């Protein structure tokens, strides 16, 4: 059964000057434990789609369900990871990690233990009592992911989480984040501009058209080398370039059309 189900979802923005139709007829179902990437021309409403799934925005038409229940308001099943880590400078790493748990009024002791355990597990155990400013960009983003995990979501929404990082950190971190997400058995939806990132991390890549955006195509990412390859292995796989070129071509048409 699908964990996330979008049926005929549409969304329009209203301003005093005009009405903008951002999304139209989005139908998508995402299975439990699946990793899906969303790519498309800038301003096509990729991030909007994440806000809809998270319950921060209401669709103008259609319905969104998580585990068979209609989404109304922010669901505790969903965790969000943003482009910037937004760690709070006035809290140390450990207290930053429990922010989500605090908001959701979860047990503090349990949250703290879980935070420490995750820090330890993902190689940041020594930094629990450091200030955020003492961490590197890649470390901060890993802390941000752990902060999301401490609140115990089933679904992770990743909104260009690596785009503020330098190329090398980006490659390393995407590999790590992939392993953390698989290790924790979470469902993930990644929005990105980076096509190679989208392909290497996901089981399926969804291409969106220009506004009003619809799903133009969904590509299964499957290589002869086997199932569940890590991003690194996928980039090395024989069929990688072919897949990349196919999606690139499709994207290019939308990008040109939106110019």
Partner 1 sequence: MSSPLYEKYLRIQKRKLWLIGLSRLSVLAVFLALWELAAGWGWVDPMLTSKPSLLLSSFRELAFEGSLLKHTWISGLETVVGIAVSMLLGTAIAVLFWWSSFASKVLEPYMVVLNALPKVALGPIFYIWLGDSYSIYGMAVAISIIVTIIMVESGFREISKTKLKLMESFGATKPQMLRMVLLPASVPHFIATLKVNVGLTLVGVVMGEFLSSKAGLGYLIIYGGQVFQMNLVMVSITMLALLSVILYGFVHLLERFARKKYNYEA
Q: Which residues of this protein are in contact with partner 1, per CB under 8 A?
A: 54, 56, 73-76, 78-80, 82-84, 86, 88-90, 99-100, 102-104, 131, 133, 151
CB of 139 or CB of 207, closer to partner 1: 139
Nearest distance, CB of residue 80 and partner 1, angstroms: 4
Nearest distance, CB of residue 87 and partner 1, angstroms: 10
- Token pair listed for 218: 């969904």
CB of 30 or CB of 78, closer to partner 1: 78
* Separation of alpha carbons 187 and 30, rounded Å: 8
Alpha helix segments (H runs only) across the chain: 46-54, 93-97, 99-103, 108-121, 137-150, 167-183, 195-201, 231-236, 240-258
Q: In terms of DSSP bridges, do strands 215-220 and 204-208 run parallel, antiparallel, or are they unpaired? A: antiparallel
CB of 83 or CB of 163, closer to partner 1: 83
CB of 193 or CB of 222, closer to partner 1: 193
Tell me the three state secondary structure of residue 16.
coil
Beta-carbon neighbour count of residue 190 at 10 Å? Answer: 29
Nearest distance, CB of residue 72 and partner 1, angstroms: 12
* Separation of alpha carbons 77 and 197, rounded Å: 25
Measured at the CA of 184, the angle between CA 55 and CA 85, to 5 degrees, comes to 55
Q: Is 242 left (phi over 0), alpha (psi -120 to 50) or beta?
A: alpha
**DSSP3 helix / strand / coil % (the chain, rounded to 5):** 40, 25, 35
Nearest distance, CB of residue 89 and partner 1, angstroms: 5
DSSP secondary structure string, 77-98? TEEEE-SS----TTS-HHHHHT
CB of 58 or CB of 241, closer to partner 1: 58
Nearest distance, CB of residue 35 and partner 1, angstroms: 19
Nearest distance, CB of residue 176 and partner 1, angstroms: 21
φ and ψ at residue 169, rounded to 5 degrees:
-60, -40
CB of 42 or CB of 72, closer to partner 1: 72
CB of 37 or CB of 54, closer to partner 1: 54
Q: In terms of DSSP bridges, do strands 155-159 and 78-81 run parallel, antiparallel, or are they unpaired? A: parallel
Nearest distance, CB of residue 65 and partner 1, angstroms: 18
């Amino acid at each position: 059964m699908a964990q996330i189900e979008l049926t005929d979802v549409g969304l329009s923005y209203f301003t005093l000057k005009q009405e903008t139709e951002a999304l139209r007829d989005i139908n998508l179902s995402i299975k439990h434990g699946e990793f899906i990437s969303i790519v498309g021309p800038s301003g096509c409403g990729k991030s909007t789609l994440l806000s809809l799934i998270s319950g921060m925005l209401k669709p103008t038409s259609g319905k969104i369900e998580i585990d068979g229940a209609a989404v109304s308001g922010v669901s505790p099943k969903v965790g969000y990871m943003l482009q910037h880590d937004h760690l709070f400078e006035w809290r140390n790493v450990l207290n930053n990690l429990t922010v989500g748990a605090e908001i959701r009024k979860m047990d503090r002791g349990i949250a703290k233990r879980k935070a420490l355990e995750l820090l330890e597990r993902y190689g940041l155990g020594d930094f629990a009592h450091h200030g955020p400013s003492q961490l590197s960009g890649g470390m901060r983003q890993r802390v941000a992911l752990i902060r999301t995990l401490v609140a115990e979501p089933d679904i992770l929404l990743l909104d260009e989480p690596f785009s503020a990082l330098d190329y090398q950190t980006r490659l390393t971190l995407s590999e790590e984040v992939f392993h953390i997400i698989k290790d924790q058995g979470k469902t993930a939806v990644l929005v990105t501009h980076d096509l190679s990132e989208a392909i290497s991390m996901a089981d399926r890549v969804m291409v969106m058209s220009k506004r009003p955006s619809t799903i133009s195509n969904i590509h299964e990412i499957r290589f002869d080398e086997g199932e569940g390859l890590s991003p690194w292995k996928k980039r090395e796989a024989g069929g990688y370039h072919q897949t990349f070129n196919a999606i690139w071509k499709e994207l290019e048409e939308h990008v040109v059309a939106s110019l």
